[in-house]
Chain A
Amino acid sequence: MLLIKELKKALGVALWFIFLTFPIMVIKVDPIERIIRYRWENAAYVAIVAFTAYLVMSFFKMRKLRVTADKKEVKKSQNVIYSILNNKKQLTVLSFAILAIAIIFPHFFSVYQTNVMTTALMYVVLGLGLNIVVGMAGLLDLGFVAFYAVGAYSYALLNYHFGLGFWVVLPIGGALAAIFGIILGFPVLRLRGDYLAIVTLGFGEIIRLILENWGEFSQGPSGISNISRPGFFGMDFSLETSIMYMYYIMVIGVIVTIFIVNRLQDSRLGRAWIALREDEIACQAMGIDKRKTKLAAFSLGAFWAGLIGVVFAAKTTFINPASFTFLESAIILSIVVLGGMGSIIGVILGAFILILMPEYLRALSEFRMLAFGGVMVAMMVFRPQGMIANIRRTYKFEKQE
C-alpha cells in the first residue's frame, strides 16, 4: 500500500522534473541548420533518474519506520560474501587472487576487452569518490560529473596550451576538482535532500553549458583533440601498448583509491561523515562542525572525479562537453545506489555490473535504458540498502589485568 503510494509520488516527481528540465535537456537549438531539435530520449533519462532518486530519498525517510524489518534482514544476509568480508584471511586470499587476475588480464584478452575493463575501473574510482559524498556523508549530489569535467578539461587545456604531461596534471586536475567541490559546497551547506539534489544538478549543467558556450576558453562543442597519452620516462608507445599502460595505471589507481577510501571510512573524519548522514542535529550536538565535515566530503569526493577526468582525457585523447552530461552523473549515482551506499565492495561490484553488462549485452542495447531503469526500481523495492549493505568495522577488546 505504502509502496504503491510512494511509486505514484515518484512518478509525479519524474513528470515534474521532465517539465522543469525541458528547456535545457530536451530542446536544443541548432544555430547552424536553424532548427530546433527535440531530444526526447533525454526526457526519458531525466524521468528515470528523478524517479529513482525520489525512491532513494523516500527510502531514507522511511528507514526509521523499518527498523524492525531491517533487523531480520541483517540476520539473513550473513551469507557467503559477509562471512568472507569478516574473515581477514579469506579476504586477503581473495584480494590477491583478484589482483593476479587483474595483472594477467590484458595478456589473455583482446585490446578491446582491455579498453572496456579500463573504463570499468575508471567508474570504480568515480563510484568510490561519489560514495564519499552520497554513501557516507548522505549528501545527494546529482552534479558529480562537473568535477569529472573539471579534471578532464584541466588536462586537455594545460596540455594544449602549455604541453604539460599527464603525470604533472594528474594532481593538478584532482586539486582543481577538489577546489570546485568546495565552491559547490559553500552555497549548499544549508540544503538537504531534495533541495541539495536540485542545486547540485543545476551546478553540473552549468559547468557543461559553460564548456559548451565559452568557445575561447574550451573550444566549445567541437572539443579539444590530440591530447597526449600518458608518457613513461619519455618513451613512445604503440597504440596497443599505451592501452595496456592505461589499464595498468587504472589498476594501480583503483588499488590506491580502495586503500585510501577504506582508511578514511574508519577514521575520525569518516565517522563524522556517517554521523552527519544518520542525524544532522545529533551530529552537531556531539561537537562535529557541520560545515567543515560537509566541505571535506564534497572536496574529497570531487578530488577522485578530477583524477579520473584527467585519465579520461588522456585515454580518449579527445574530449568535448557531450561527454559530461547529466546521464553520466546518473550512472555514477546508480553505481553507488545499486552497489550499496557507503559500502566499498558494493560500489566496486556496482561499477562492474553497470559498466560491463551493457558492453557485453550489445544485442540488447536498444533496451539498455529500459533494463537499467527496471533494475533500479526493482532494487529500491526489494533491496533498498543495495547489493551489499554497509558493514561497520568491529573491534575486539581484551582485558589486561
Chain B
Amino acid sequence: MDNQILKVNGLTMDFGGIRALNSLDLDVNRGEIVALIGPNGAGKTTFFNCITGIYAPTEGEVYLASPGSDTKVSLKGLKPNQVTEKGLARTFQNIRLFAKMTVLENVMIGRHCRTKATVLGAVFRNRTTRDEEQSILETSYDILEKVGLEQYVNEFANNLPYGAQRRLEVARALATEPLLLLLDEPAAGMNPQETIELEKLIKEISSEGQSILLIEHDMTLVMSLSDRIFVMDYGKKIAEGTPVEIRENPAVIKAYLGEDVDA
C-alpha cells in the first residue's frame, strides 16, 4: 500500500549561524536507487548525519518504514546505534573502517545489532552463543564474497587497497541488514576500473531489492544508477526528478556551472 521507505520533512540544521540544511524534503521508495547530488559544501553529508542520529537536526521529521507494519517510525531523538537498529545503515565519505581489525571482523561488527550474545555467553560459549557466532561468521563471509573481498578476510582493514576499503565500508553497512542503505560518495578517489566494478556491485545489491540512497559526484555513475535524483545547493533542494529531467534542469546547470543565480 504505502511504498515509501524513507520520508524526510522539512529537515533543517543550523551550525551556529550557518544553516547547513534548509527545510529539506526527501523520500525514497522501496527498491529504488535515489541519488542526492550537489556541489561541495551543499550539505549532503550533513543530511546523512542528521537522519542517522549523529547530529540532532534543528527542525524537521524523519520517518522510516518498519518491517511488518504499515506505519512508519520516527527517528527523531534516536541515537546512531538505535537508528541503525531500525534499519538505516551508512558508509562514510572519509573512510572510517576499524583499522586494527581484520576485514572479516569489520563486517562481523555490522552483525552486532542483529545478535545478542552476552558476557556470560562469551565466557561459557554455550550452544546458543556458538550457533550465533557461527551464523555471524557465515553471513559476514557471504557478504564479503558478494562485494568481492573474500581473498582479504584475515587482513587488517588498513592494509587494503583504497578501492577495496570503500567496498568494505559497503559490506559492513550491508551486514546490519538495512532497510535503506546510505552511501556517501562511494566512488570518491576510485580509478575508472574500480568505479565500473562499484557500479556493478551497486546494481547487483539493488537487484536483490535493496533500497539505496546515494551521494555521488561522478555524474556518469549517478545517471546510470539512479531512478530519481535530488539536487541540493546551499542546504536547499533545488531540483528533483528522473535523470533525464535533472540533466535538462536549468537550475541544476546553473548550480553546477557556478553562474550567478538571477534574483
Q: Which residues of A contact B (CB under 8 A)?
A: 63-64, 67, 70-71, 74, 260, 263-264, 267-272, 274-275, 278-279, 281-290, 296, 300, 390, 392-395, 397
One digit per residue, 1 when the CB lies within 8 angstroms of any chain A CB and 0 when it does not, for chain B 106-130 equals: 0011101111011101110100010
Q: Measured between alpha carbons, how far is A260 from B125 in the docked complex, in Å?
A: 11
Contact indicator A392/B81 (Cβ below 8 Å): no
Instruction: Tell whether B54 is near chain A: CB-to-CB under 8 Å.
Output: yes
List residues of chain A with CB within 8 A of the CB of B74: none
Q: How many of chain B's residues have a CB under 8 angstroms from any CB in A? A: 48
- Measured between beta carbons, the chain A residues less than 8 angstroms from B52 are 285
Closest to A342 in B: B100
Q: Mark B70-95, 1 if CB is under 8 A from A, else 0.
A: 00000000011100110001101000
List chain B residues, Cβ under 8 A from A392. Answer: 100-102, 105, 154, 156
- Pick the contact of B98 from A74, A278, A287 — CB < 8 Å? A278
CB distance from B135 to the nearest CB of A (A): 12
Output the nearest chain A residue to B158 by Cβ-Cβ distance. Answer: A67
CA A63 to CA B80, docked complex, whole Å: 26
Choose among B90, B112, B154 the residue that contacts A272 (Cβ–Cβ < 8 A).
Answer: B112
Give Cα A300–Cα B119 distance, bound, in whole angstroms: 9
Chain B residues closer than 8 Å to A285, beta-carbon distance: 52, 54, 80-81, 84, 89-90, 92, 96
What 5 pairs across the A-B complex have the smallest Cβ distances? A287-B113, A267-B122, A287-B84, A278-B98, A282-B96
Q: What residues make up the interface of B, taking CB atoms closer than 8 Å to A? A: 52, 54, 79-81, 84-85, 89-90, 92, 96-102, 104-105, 108-110, 112-115, 117-119, 121-123, 125, 129, 132-133, 136-137, 141, 150, 153-154, 156, 158-159, 172-173, 176
Chain A's closest residue to B99 (CB) is A278
Q: Give how many A-B residue pairs fall within 8 Å (CB-CB).
A: 125
The B interface is mostly helix, strand or loop, or mixed, namely: helix
A276 → chain B closest CB, angstroms: 9
Measured between C-beta atoms, what is the minimum distance from B121 to chain A in Å? Answer: 8
| A395-B96 contact, Cβ under 8 Å, with A269-B117, A300-B119 | no
What is the CB-to-nearest-CB distance from A221 to chain B, in angstroms, rounded to a whole number?
37
> B141 and A397: CB pair below 8 A?
yes
> Which B residue sits closest to A390, measured CB to CB?
B100
Which among B100, B115, B118, B150 is the interface contact of A274 at CB below 8 angstroms? B100
A192 to B153, CA, bound (A): 31
The reply to whether A296 and B119 form a contact with Cβ atoms under 8 Å apart is yes
**Contact: B101 with A271, CB < 8 Å?**
yes
Residues on B with beta carbons closer than 8 Å to the beta carbon of A397: 141, 150, 153
B101–A290 touching, CB < 8 Å: no
A48 to B99, CA, bound (A): 30
- B114: which A residues are within 8 A, CB to CB? 287
CA A397 to CA B154, docked complex, whole Å: 11
